[in-house]
Every structure is written in structure tokens, then in C-alpha cells.
């Protein structure tokens, strides 16, 4: 696997986690929706 594939995987997980922390303080219902979608995906 090339280095760019690893970097895409790392940044996707990092941005997803950062998005959860930003949404967590605002709306818990949206957080539940995002988590259920990511679990189903």
C-alpha cells in the first residue's frame, strides 16, 4: 500500500473524530444520527 493511501485513511479518521467533537457540544440528536450512520456503514 502506498503512503498516500495511508494518509487518506488517517486523515479521514482524524476529520471524522474532529467532526464528532465539534458536533457533540451542539446537538446530541445529530451526534446519535451520525454515529448510527457510521455504524451502519
| pLDDT at 36 (0 to 100) | 78
- Render pLDDT for 1-41 as a digit per residue (tens, 0 to 9): 688 888 888 888 888 777 777 766 656 677 777 777 776 65
Question: Is residue 27 left, alpha or beta, with left meaning phi > 0 and alpha meaning psi from -120 to 50?
Answer: beta
| pLDDT at 24 (0 to 100) | 62
| pLDDT at 17 (0 to 100) | 77
| pLDDT at 20 (0 to 100) | 72
Global pTM reads: 0.46
d(CA 36, CA 41): 9
Amino acid at each position: 500500500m502506498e503512503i498516500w493511501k495511508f494518509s487518506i485513511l488517517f486523515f479521514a479518521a482524524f476529520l471524522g473524530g474532529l467532526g464528532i467533537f465539534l458536533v457533540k457540544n451542539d446537538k446530541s440528536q445529530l451526534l446519535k444520527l451520525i454515529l448510527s450512520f457510521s455504524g451502519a456503514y
